[in-house]
Chains A and B, each alone.
Chain A
Amino acid sequence: MKLNFNYDGNIACKAILQDQLEKFDIKYQLLDLGQIEIGDSVSEDVLAELQVGLTKYGIQIIDNPKGQLIQKIKDAIIEIVYEKEKFPNITISQYLSDKLNFRYGYITNVFSEYTFTSIENFIIIQKIERAKKLIIEEKLTLTEISHELNYSSVAYLSTQFKKVTGLTPSMFKRIVGKKRELSNND
C-alpha cells in the first residue's frame, strides 16, 4: 500500500528544531526566517553535538554572515512563491532590499557569488518546483496553477517550465505517473 502525503516543510522543520533543542536542554526562542535565539551559555561542544543531531534532517547551522544572508534571501523568496497573498506589489528587488535591510546590488552580488545562480533564476526555479507539486497533486488546472504562481498567462508558465526542465508540463506529468507505476510494481 502506498500513501500520499501533503506536508508543510516549515512546520516540519520547526518541530525538528524544537525536539533537538529540547533534547540538549537548550533554552531557545524561534524567530522568523530560519533563525533561533539561544542563551549565550551554550558551549561549543553542545553546539557541535546539536549539529550532528540536525545533520540527518538536512539542517545546517550557518556560522558565517554571508551564508546567513543567503539563507534569508532564499527563505524570503520561498515564502512569496508558496504564499500567494504575500507576493509583493512592489518589485522583488525593492521587496528583498526592504526586508533584509541591504542595498539590492549587495544582495544580488553575494547571492550569485555563493550560489552560482542569480536571484531571478532562483525565483524561476522555485516557482517551477511549486508548479511541479501542483501538477502532481492534480487539484488545479494548468491555467489555475499559472494564476496561483502569478504568471500573466498559461503560455508563459509553459515556456518557463520548458526552460527549467526541458519538458512540457504534460510530458512531465506523464513521466511522474509512469515512474510511480514502475515503483508500485516493484
Chain B
Amino acid sequence: MITHQDSMHILLADDDEDDRTFFSEAIQELKMNNKLTLFKDGNDLMDYLVHPEIKLPHVLFLDLNMPGKTGIDCLKEIRSNTRFKDVSIAIYSTSSSEKDIEDTFIEGANIYIKKPNDFSKLKKVIKEVVNMNWQFHTSGLNIETFFFSI
C-alpha cells in the first residue's frame, strides 16, 4: 500500500497528440503530487512496460483506438502478467454502450471513461478518476472488484 505522502505515478498511451496535451494539462491542475509519463501508442507503451526495473504506475490510461496494438490488446497483455496486478487500468472510449463497458471490465479494466467532448468536462472526469483510484491504493480496497464507469 502507498502512503499519503507518496506521489501518484500515472501513464497515458494515446496516439492523438492533442489528446495527450489536454490530458497533461488536466493532470497538472490536480492538487496531489504526481508523475505523468506519456506514450504515443500501444507498442511504445508495451516496449516500456517489459523492462523489469521500471517503477510500476498506480494507474494507466489507455486509448481504445490506436494503430498497432489497440487499448484492448494492451489490456489483455498486461492482465496476463501478474507483475501488473496492482496497476489500475483506465480505458478511454468513445462508446458508452453497456455491453462495451461490461466487456472491458471482464477483460480486467478497472475504470471506463467515455471520452468527453470538451476540455472542462475532461478535466473533471480525470480528477474524479484519479481521486477514486487514489482511495483504492491508499485504503487497501480490493482492486479485483474495483470498477468505475464514468
Contacts and interface: CB of A to CB of B under 8 A. Distances in A.
B3 A60 contact: yes
A165 B149 contact: yes
B102 A122 contact: no
A175 interface: yes
Given A125-B141, A166-B149, A179-B106, A67 B3 contact: yes
Interface string A112-125: 00111100001001
Contact of A117 (B3, B135, B147): B135
Contact of A116 (B3, B32, B101, B106): B32
A41 B105 CA distance: 51
Contacts of B98: 171
A87 B140 CA distance: 21
For chain B, give the interface size range.
20 to 34
Interface residues of A, number: 31
Contact of A114 (B4, B140, B144): B4
Contact of A174 (B102, B145, B149): B102
Contacts of A116: 31-32, 131, 134
Chain A interface mostly helix, strand, loop or mixed? helix
A9 to B, nearest CB: 7
B112 interface: yes
B22 interface: no
Contact of A115 (B4, B107, B145, B150): B4
Contacts of A72: none
Q: Which of B98, B102, B108 has the most CB of A within 10 A?
A: B102
Top 8 nearest A-B pairs (CB, nearest first) are: A166-B149, A58-B1, A114-B4, A178-B106, A175-B105, A132-B145, A165-B147, A116-B131
